[in-house]
Amino acid sequence: MKIIVTGGAGFIGSHTVVDLLENGYEPIVIDDFRNSKPFIIERIKKITNKDFVSYNFDCGDIKKLSSVFLKEKPDAIIHFAADKAVNESVSNPLKYYHNNISTLVNVLSVVNKSKVKSFVFSSSCTVYGVPKKVPVSEFSPIQQAFSPYGFTKQIGEQILSDFAKSNPGVSISLLRYFNPIGAHPSGLIGELPLGVPSNLVPFITQTAIGIRESLIVHGNDYDTTDGTCIRDYIHVLDLARAHVLAFSNYLKKNNKPLILNIGTGKGSSVLEVIESFKKVNKTNLNYTFGPRRDGDAPCVYANSSLAKKVLGWEHKFSLEDALSHAWEWEKQLSIL
Ligand SMILES: NC(=O)c1ccc[n+]([C@@H]2O[C@H](COP(=O)([O-])OP(=O)(O)OC[C@H]3O[C@@H](n4cnc5c(N)ncnc54)[C@H](O)[C@@H]3O)[C@@H](O)[C@H]2O)c1
C-alpha cells in the first residue's frame, strides 16, 4: 500500500515514515525542507534499513503534485505539511493562511481526481482554545482560536468536513494532537526547531546542552497544583502509530470525518516536566519564571478513549521515556 506523506521529513512525519516502513507500507515523502533537513531522510533509511522514494518540492504546487500522483498512484495520504509556530502566525498570519489553508486546498484538489481512499490530517488540541472542562473530549466545544495558527487548524477541519460530504469514497481522519514530544530511541531523528523553539521540550534540551542560557517558565500563578501550566505530553512514536492505525483501520465509506484526540490522558505541569527531565537524564537546568503568555490555557489534557475504541490505539511510552529520548537526540545533534 502506497502512502503519500507530505512533510515526511518533519518531526512527526519522520517518525510516522519509520512506523510505515516497519509495518510493510510504502511511504512516498514530499517535503521541501523549509522546516527540516534532507539528512533526516537518510536517517530514516538508517533506522529502518529500508529505502523509499522522496520528492523535494512545495506540495502546494498542483502541477508537481499531480504528476507524482499520476506516477505513484497512492492509496492514502497523510498530510503533515504546514507551518506550526503559534507566535510567528501572529506576526505573519498570511504565511499561515497560505501554507496551512491554500496548500491544503491544493492537495485536496489533486486527491479529488485520484484514487486515494484515505486522508489523515494533522489537527491540534488548539481547536479547543481554553477549555472549560478537562479532560477534553472530541465533543468539547470548539472555542475561538487565539492565533492564526489555531484558526488554520479549525478551518482545515471545516474544509475536510465539507470535502467528506461530497467525497464519501475518501475516508478522512482528523487527529487532534495534544503535545508531541520525544524522539526516536536511536537518537537519530527528533524535533528540529529552526531558530528559537516555541515548544517546551526542545527549549529544555537546548538549555541543558548550553545553546540557551536559561529556560523561561511562562507564569507560575495559574490555578494548578504548582502554579504552572498543565499539558498532555505524548511521545512522538505513539502519535506516529495513531496515523498508521487511522488510515489502515478507517477505510469505510463515510461522509463525515473521524475526529480523534491523540493524547495520554495525563496532565503534567511545566515544573513536573523540568524535574522529570533533570531526574531521568541526571542533568541540571537553569530556569526562571516569566510572565504568562497571552492565550495560554492553564490546564489541557485529553480524553482519548475514542481513539482506543475506534483504532485500538493507546499510548505506550511514558513522559520519562520521551524526555530521555529527546535528550539523546539533542546530544547527537550537538555533534553533527
Ligand atoms: N509539533 C506540534 O507540537 C504539533 C501539535 C499539533 C499539530 N501539529 C501539526 O502537525 C503537523 C506536523 O508538525 P511537525 O511538528 O512535524 O512540524 P515540522 O515543521 O517538524 O514538520 C513539517 C514538515 O513539513 C514541511 N513542509 C511545510 N510546508 C510544506 C510545503 N508546503 N511543501 C512541502 N513541505 C512542507 C517542512 O519542511 C517540515 O519538514 C503540522 O501540520 C502541525 O501543524 C504539530
CATH of the domain at 72: 3.40.50.720
Let me know if residue 109 belongs to a domain: yes
Query: What residues are labeled active site?
Result: 149
pTM value?
A: 0.98
In angstroms, rounded to a whole number, what is the distance separating the alpha carbons of residues 175 and 253? 18
Model pLDDT, residue 21: 98
| Residue closest by Cα to atom 15 of ligand 1 | 11
Q: Can you tell me which atom of ligand 1 is nearest the CA of 9?
A: 39
Q: Residue 241: what pLDDT?
A: 98
For residue 120, being part of any structural domain is answered with: yes
45: which strand partners? Answer: none
* CB-count exposure of residue 94 (10 Å: 0-12, 13-18, 19+): exposed
Alpha carbon of 179 to ligand 1 centroid (Å): 14
**For the chain, how many structural domains are there in total?**
1
Q: How many CB atoms lie within 10 A of CB 150?
A: 22
Instruction: With respect to residue 316, please indicate whether it lies within any of the assigned structural domains.
Output: no
Q: Which atom of ligand 1 is nearest to the CA of 59?
A: 32
CA distance 261 to 98: 26
The CA 36 to ligand 1 mean position distance, Å, reads 9
What pLDDT sits at residue 250? Answer: 61
CA of 10 to the centre of ligand 1 (A): 6
Ligand 1 lined by 122 (C-beta under 6 Å): yes
Output phi, psi for 66, to 5 deg.
-60, -40
Structural domain contains residue 48: yes
Please report, in tens digits, the pLDDT of each residue of the chain (336 residues total): 999 999 999 999 999 999 999 999 999 999 999 999 999 999 999 999 999 999 999 999 999 999 999 999 999 999 999 999 988 999 999 999 999 999 999 999 999 999 999 999 999 999 999 999 999 999 999 998 989 999 999 999 999 999 999 998 899 999 999 999 999 999 999 999 888 898 999 999 999 999 999 999 999 999 999 999 999 999 999 999 999 999 887 666 678 899 999 999 999 999 999 999 999 999 999 999 999 988 889 999 999 999 999 999 999 999 999 999 999 999 999 777
| Exposed e or buried b per residue across 114-139, where buried means at least 16 C-beta atoms within 10 angstroms of its C-beta | bebbbbbbbbbbbbbbebeebbbebe
Q: Is ligand 1 within 6 A of the CB of residue 9? A: yes
Q: Is residue 190 part of a domain?
A: no
Domain containing 66: what range? 2-180+234-263
Confidence at residue 198, expressed as pLDDT on a 0 to 100 scale:
85
For residue 87, being part of any structural domain is answered with: yes
Alpha-carbon 145 to chain mean position: 18
Burial-class residue 166 by CB neighbours within 10 Å (0-12, 13-18, 19+). exposed
- Measured over the CA atoms of residue 276, residue 280, residue 284 and residue 285, the dihedral's sign is negative
Sequence-distant (6+) residues with CB within 8 A of 52 are 17, 21, 26, 27, 28, 29, 44, 45
Instruction: Give the model's pLDDT for residue 252.
Output: 64
Structural domain includes residue 319: no
Judge if the beta carbon of residue 33 lies within 6 A of ligand 1.
yes
Query: Is residue 333, in this structure, part of any structural domain at all?
Result: no
